[in-house]
């Protein structure tokens, strides 16, 4: 067989043949994923033990690789695409997204400069403008004015870029030039995603210069506490510069009071970043757009279509109201990247909007997803997920053995058995070991809390119902 | 047609059908890419103008999207996968890599923790150990001891992570905790990739605290100048902490004298990072392994299979000799990520080895590429590229109108017409406008210099010969 020859590029004919086989493998996977244990049951080292100690000297057949997907890979997969995946936040996907990623890999372009593939940049700019309208975000995030959007790999990277742009603005470029001073202070809440603390470490702000503001009974940031912290730091001669507010916290989808937080930021001249990584997608539905109240006052915003909008990882939409601060924070122009399009300033070079230089054509999958479903199609599925989660919330409220642990405004329900931490820990371990579903936990009010998030593309009413029945049964 | 219904997920049957169509589109693309103008000829705004102002409310057919690939996307593509692409460094790819990325998108797993897909982590660890042997890298970079490898999106991110680990070690964790001081100093050469300066800005080290050490006639770092700079900074009360040496600079594939640089780093206790982003792949061939002399003394090292090893972007292999410094720099563990596997310390959680939290199953494509070609197959193609570049070097040396601008140890040839900057600038513009090939430029010895890099997967002798003939003809 030709494909077993060494030194041999895959021909277009072979690519057609093995491409069909790979497409079929993926289609088969989706047909059976529901029957597989959601959380992988392998022990540490078990997958490695199945791999040969040395790489092959001669090439192998593609058939052998496909066979190893079943033999070696699948047992070690935790199935994020199972309709019984309710853990963390979803990282859902869809057919049009997967196929767009295939085409992205096939084109193999670098979008670091406009010039190195204009379509990669222009479709990204255009689709990110679409998304502003789709989510009812403020027009200041569109590319026509001073702002604009860019695809980042993750909300972590978006937080980092927001922090860097804020640092640039607050220090007038001094930190970029001469390094950190340990005098800048950032604010988030006790419920903010750990990526803000990580970003502060990376950016040389320092973990100790991140204030975790206390939250109210609904786990939302207390604006009065934020104001006090800022004033205390100012009085101590420090420089407050950055606030991250969250729309839909990771623990419980709490929604920080962005309008109040924004007013404080404006008063004190702080950069406001709003992280709506998972929850942002809900704003596709006009009736859920209230979650974005106050975002029109934010300096930057992000949400992840790779969480709940059927677009596979990585795809975080990051917006800034003033792109110049971001570009100033990240721009460098060595001779080998110089070109006329860049120098006339008529184009966007997204390399200056992100940490890495290189970038894939990620807009392709977002474009395909929006077109395949249409805005109404996306809304339909989001509404369905919210409805299913709300049904679960009602069941929990009605069950004497369980209680809600936090408000459930969208598609995440936090709850616990009334028996205490040990019972809930055992419950989680037993449920996940069953392979029938996958839940994760958090701590709220210092109590062990189960989280069930409805957001996987294929999750239907029967999956949520079966999950709840299994939870009740396991609780005995 | 079912796929035109709104609210409709693509069924496995539709996925098979449109998957075949997408595979065929990619195969067709590779069959015709050689005939397309390499550098896109569109004007700024031209692609956007073809897109509807508003997103579709109702879903569209996949057929319409495929048609738009030809109608809208292709004119705006600069063809990195054309055999006539000689610009920058290559970002080459191959059939097994593209299909592995399809499967990666299909599985849609998150590898942030071992637990969230053990195969994603273990195959990555294992294949990165393979690569250590394949490139003859030091065993200290293997996962069995204190070191280990991880896939980053790019060499830029690898540089940043190396800088952060070095900062952690040099400051004993103080910068992570309390922020930058503006007293740490990093060193590279005048030829080092701009990502090191960008990383220093991001990490709060400061652009002004990066010393660009002068180079010798071959554009390699002068160790004596490095030593002087370190001693000068020490005398000034600053803290030298990080050196980036390059194996194969972006401008001219110059190779810094790593053994001498390493000795200076050891003497002064500095972290040595070696960036071999493009050139590292050459070390697949034992006769080219001399490029890695001294790397056994490095604290960290990276090269990009997504440049010259047939693995599509993003895939940078980043190694550290002491993984603890890296993990200390980047680790955070909120409650919602806690799990037994992590807490017993028996597994790797790659989220602590990188800036983002989420991560794709990128090891899959590297594994598939190594298996498809075998080590011997990869060597064959690398040798062929080097041979073609060396043939071009000889032609240039023999042509009275042209001269080499730098040594050409591997697959990049830097040269210029003897007519001066204006002639070379015109030559580049004319050649690229022809669509027949794509070259880029740099400045060496303050003179405008053309760069021709042989590394695209499909480039054969006839493409290099045709390129040289066209260059000579254009020079007229």
Contact with chain B for residue A253, Cβ under 8 A: no
Q: How far is CA A127 from CA A123, A282, A310, B224, B276, in A?
A: 6, 18, 15, 52, 35
CA distance A395 to chain B (A): 24
Contact with chain B for residue A157, Cβ under 8 A: yes
Q: Inter-chain contact A355–B157, Cβ cutoff 8 Å?
A: yes
Average pLDDT, chain A: 96
CATH code 3.90.1150.10 region(s) in chain B: 374-475
Could you count the other beta carbons within 10 Å of the beta carbon of residue A32? 10
Q: Which two tokens stand for residue A213?
A: 């503001």
Starting at the edge strand found earlier in the chain, the sheet holding A316-320 runs: A148-152, A316-320, A300-303, A271-275, A239-246, A184-189, A210-213
What are A426-448's pLDDT values in tens digits? 999 999 999 999 999 999 999 99
The pLDDT confidence band at residue A2, using thresholds 50, 70 and 90, is very low
Q: What mean pLDDT comes out for the span A294-298? A: 98
Chain A, window 24-83: residues with a beta carbon less than 8 angstroms from a chain B beta carbon: 24-31, 39-40, 42, 44-48, 51, 54-60, 62, 64-65, 69, 72-81
- Give ipTM to 2 decimals: 0.96
Residue B287, judged by CB atoms within 10 A of its CB (0-12, 13-18, 19+), counts as exposed
The pLDDT confidence band at residue A6, using thresholds 50, 70 and 90, is very low
CATH code 1.20.1340.10 region(s) in chain A: 2-68+75-79
Give the integer Cα–Cα distance in Å for B272 and B281.
20
pLDDT at B5: 44
pLDDT at B190: 97
Most B CBs within 10 Å: which of A63, A68, A70, A98, as the mutation test of the B interface?
A: A98
Contact with chain A for residue B17, Cβ under 8 A: no
Residue pair B148/B141 in contact by the 8 Å Cβ criterion: yes
pLDDT at A476: 86
First vs last C-alpha separation in chain B? 58
Q: Inter-chain contact A371–B64, Cβ cutoff 8 Å?
A: yes
Q: Inter-chain contact B312–A336, Cβ cutoff 8 Å?
A: no
Backbone angles phi, psi at B60, to 5 degrees: -115, 170
Q: Inter-chain contact A15–B23, Cβ cutoff 8 Å?
A: yes
Indicate whether A344 pLDDT > 80.
no
The pLDDT confidence band at residue B333, using thresholds 50, 70 and 90, is confident
Contact with chain A for residue B190, Cβ under 8 A: no
Q: Inter-chain contact A180–B181, Cβ cutoff 8 Å?
A: yes
CATH architecture of residue range(s) B100-368: 3-Layer(aba) Sandwich (3.40)
Indicate whether B84 pLDDT > 50.
yes
Most B CBs within 10 Å: which of A21, A23, A115, as the mutation test of the B interface?
A: A23
Residue pair A183/A240 in contact by the 8 Å Cβ criterion: no
Q: Which residues of B touch A65 (CB under 8 A)?
A: 96, 367-368, 371-372
What number does CATH give the domain A2-68+75-79? 1.20.1340.10
Tell me whether strands B148-152 and B316-320 are parallel, antiparallel or unpaired: antiparallel
CA distance B136 to chain A (A): 13
Say which residues have a Cβ less than 8 Å from residue B240's Cβ, sequence separation at least 6. B184, B185, B187, B230, B233, B234, B268, B270
Residue B311, judged by CB atoms within 10 A of its CB (0-12, 13-18, 19+), counts as buried
Indicate whether A420 pLDDT > 50.
yes
The HSE-up count of residue A255 (CA atoms within 13 Å, CB side) is: 20
Q: What mean pLDDT comes out for the span B217-233? A: 98
Cα dihedral sign, B446-B447-B448-B451: negative
Residue pair A220/A254 in contact by the 8 Å Cβ criterion: yes
Q: Helices A155-171 and A323-330 meet at what angle, rounded to 10? A: 90
The pLDDT confidence band at residue B8, using thresholds 50, 70 and 90, is confident
What number does CATH give the domain A109-368? 3.40.640.10
Which candidate from A95, A157, A175 shows the least CB-CB separation from B204?
Answer: A175
Q: Which residues of B touch A75 (CB under 8 A)?
A: 119
Our CA dihedral for A96, A100, A103, A107, rounded to 10 degrees, sits at 160
Contact with chain A for residue B114, Cβ under 8 A: yes
Which residue reads 């200041």 in tokens?
A: A140
| SS3 per-residue string spanning chain A | CHHHCCCCCCCHHHHHHHHHHHHHHHHHHHHHHHHCCCCCCCCCCCCHHHCCCCCCCCCCCHHHHHHHHHHHHHHHCCCCCCCCECCCCCCCCCHHHHHHHHHHHHHCCCCCCCCCCHHHHHHHHHHHHHHHHHCCCCHHHCCCCCCEEEEECCHHHHHHHHHHHHHHHHHCCHHHHHCCCCCEEEEEECCCCCHHHHHHHHCCCCHHHEEEECECCCCCECHHHHHHHHHHHHHCCCEEEEEEEEECCCCCCCECCHHHHHHHHHHHCCEEEEECCCHHHHHHCHHHHHHHCCHHHCCEEEECHHHHCCCCCCCEEEEECCHHHHHHHHCCCCHHHCCHHHHCCCCCCHHHHCCCCCCCCCHHHHHHHHHHHHHHHHHHHHHHHHHHHHHHHHHHHHCCCEEECCCCCCCEEEEEECCCHHHHHHHHHHHHHHCCCECEEEEECCEEEEEEECCCCCCCHHHHHHHHHHHHHHHC
Average pLDDT, chain B: 96
What are A126-150's pLDDT values in tens digits? 999 999 999 999 999 999 999 999 9
Could you count the other beta carbons within 10 Å of the beta carbon of residue B236? 9
Nearest CA in chain B to A206: B179
Q: What mean pLDDT comes out for the span B172-190? A: 95
Which residue reads 């929604």 in tokens?
A: A255
pLDDT at B345: 76
Give the integer Cα–Cα distance in Å for A137 and B177.
35
Contact with chain B for residue A372, Cβ under 8 A: yes
Q: Is B374-475 assigned to CATH 3.90.1150.10? A: yes
* CA neighbor of B282 nearest in space, from B257, B252, B305, B259: B305
Indicate whether B455 pLDDT > 60.
yes
Q: Inter-chain contact B106–A25, Cβ cutoff 8 Å?
A: yes
Give the integer Cα–Cα distance in Å for B476 and B471.
9
Starting at the edge strand found earlier in the chain, the sheet holding B210-213 runs: B148-152, B316-320, B300-303, B271-275, B239-246, B184-189, B210-213
Distance of CA A166 to the CA centre of its chain: 21
Residue B445, judged by CB atoms within 10 A of its CB (0-12, 13-18, 19+), counts as exposed
Contact with chain A for residue B205, Cβ under 8 A: yes
**Number of residues that this document lists for chain A:** 476
Q: Which residues of B touch A47 (CB under 8 A)?
A: 118-119, 122-123
The pLDDT confidence band at residue A3, using thresholds 50, 70 and 90, is very low
* CA neighbor of A117 nearest in space, from A367, A330, A362: A362
Which candidate from A78, A104, A358 shows the least CB-CB separation from B115?
Answer: A78
Nearest-5° Cα angle at B105, B99 to B106 = 90
Residue pair A330/B194 in contact by the 8 Å Cβ criterion: no
């Amino acid at each position: 067989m030709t494909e077993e020859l060494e030194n041999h590029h895959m021909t277009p004919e072979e690519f057609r043949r093995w491409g069909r086989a790979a497409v079929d493998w993926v289609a088969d996977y989706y047909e059976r994923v529901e029957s597989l244990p959601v959380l992988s049951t392998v022990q540490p080292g078990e997958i490695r033990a199945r791999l040969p100690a040395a790489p092959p000297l001669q090439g192998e057949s593609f058939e052998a690789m496909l066979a190893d997907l079943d033999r070696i890979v699948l047992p070690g997969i935790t199935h994020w695409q199972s309709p019984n995946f309710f853990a963390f936040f979803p990282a859902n996907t869809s057919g049009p997204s997967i196929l767009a990623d295939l085409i992205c890999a096939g084109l193999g372009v670098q979008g670091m400069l406009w010039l190195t593939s204009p379509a990669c940049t222009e479709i990204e700019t255009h689709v990110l403008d679409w998304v502003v309208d789709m989510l009812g975000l403020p027009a200041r995030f569109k590319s026509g004015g001073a702002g604009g959007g860019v695809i980042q790999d993750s909300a972590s990277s978006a937080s980092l870029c927001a922090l860097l742009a804020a640092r640039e603005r607050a220090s007038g470029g001094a930190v970029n030039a001469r390094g950190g001073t340990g005098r800048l202070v950032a604010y988030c809440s006790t419920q903010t995603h750990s990526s803000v603390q990580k970003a502060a470490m990376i950016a040389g702000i320092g973990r100790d210069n991140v204030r975790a503001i206390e939250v109210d009974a609904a786990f939302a940031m207390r604006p009065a506490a934020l104001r006090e912290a800022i004033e205390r730091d100012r009085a101590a001669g420090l420089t407050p510069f950055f606030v991250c507010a969250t729309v839909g916290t990771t623990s419980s989808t709490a929604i920080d009071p962005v309008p109040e937080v924004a007013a404080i930021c404006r008063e004190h001249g702080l950069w406001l970043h709003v992280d709506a990584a998972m929850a942002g997608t809900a704003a596709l539905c006009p009736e859920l757009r209230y979650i974005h109240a106050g975002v029109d006052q934010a300096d930057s915003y992000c949400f992840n279509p790779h969480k709940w909008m059927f677009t596979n990882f990585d795809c975080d939409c990051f917006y800034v109201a003033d792109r110049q601060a971001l570009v100033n924070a990240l721009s460098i122009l060595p001779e080998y990247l110089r070109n006329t399009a860049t120098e006339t300033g008529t184009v966007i070079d997204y390399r200056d909007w992100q940490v890495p230089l290189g970038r894939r054509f990620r807009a392709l999958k977002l474009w395909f997803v929006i077109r395949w479903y249409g805005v109404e199609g996306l809304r339909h599925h989001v509404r369905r997920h919210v409805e299913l989660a709300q049904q679960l919330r009602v069941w929990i409220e009605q069950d004497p053995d369980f209680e809600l642990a936090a408000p459930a405004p969208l598609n995440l329900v936090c709850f616990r058995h009334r028996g205490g931490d040990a019972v809930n820990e055992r419950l989680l371990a037993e449920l996940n070991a069953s392979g029938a579903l996958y839940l994760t936990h958090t701590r709220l009010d210092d109590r062990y809390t189960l989280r069930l998030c409805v957001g996987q593309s294929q999750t239907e009413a029967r999956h949520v119902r079966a999950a709840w029945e299994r939870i009740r049964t396991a609780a005995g």
